[in-house]
Structure 1
């Protein structure tokens, strides 16, 4: 069995370009209804920014943007922010300050995979674990899509 490589890590500038090319602004992109049957709402409004450095606040903004764009595991989001140039400490601080439901993220990721490929139940759980979701999160995600 092979693992599906996820799209290349996306820079925030690249994300903005993708949104502009698709004809969507950030607000339109986050409010458009995806083809997936799994709906994920992300509550990031209560992230406490007090005591955060400017770099951590910027990482937090990038993390919010990425979560509006696609599903991420905790470790995947930290890696994405590190790729963007944030330190591990700043990326981790930003990600951990969010109120992210990683079960819901796993469900969205599972649906995204099924939208473009076929998987067995065990294969999809394994793929989600490869992406950084825990076994429990991956199983939850696969359960939510009915596989």
Structure 2
């Protein structure tokens, strides 16, 4: 019965997440938090885990945050495009500068491939 309720809740929230059967309470809460963050802006996998586990973010245990994020069905390339577009709305970037911002561990922490995809889908690389 619990699995049906969790699946129903995921459908109602429209979260697009793939809920694992054995998530703990903190992990389920981290999934809810992650979906809220993803509804607001683009995040990389690592950036979302950092946000969820940071003392300045939500303060979840890093392992719970990672399990929660990995239970989601997220297109990280799409997230990189969202982040690239958000940066370009604030200021100008060269193609290389945008890729570096997106892939930097001090920036968004996308993989180089994801960052390149995100930048190439904007006008920064044309």
TM-score, normalising length from structure 2? 0.79
Question: What is the aligned residue count?
Answer: 105
Name the structure 2 match of 1:50.
Answer: 21
Tell me, in whole angstroms, the C-alpha distance in 2 between the residues paired with 1:134 and 1:119: 18
Higher RCO, Cα 8 Å, sep 6+: 1
Compute the displacement of 1:44 (Å): 3.7
Runs of 4+ aligned structure 1 residues displaced above 2 Å come to 43-46
- Contact residue 44 and residue 100 of structure 1 kept, 8 A: no
RMSD: 1.2
TM-score, normalising length from structure 1? 0.68
Out of 70, 86, 96, which is 2:41 matched to?
70
Which consecutive residues of structure 1, in runs of 5 or more, have no partner in the other structure? Answer: 1-42
Tell me, in whole angstroms, the C-alpha distance in 2 between the residues paired with 1:114 and 1:82: 27
- Contact residue 49 and residue 57 of structure 1 kept, 8 A: no
- Contact residue 17 and residue 74 of structure 2 kept, 8 A: no
1:124 aligns with 2:98: yes
Which consecutive residues of structure 2, in runs of 5 or more, have no partner in the other structure? Answer: 1-13
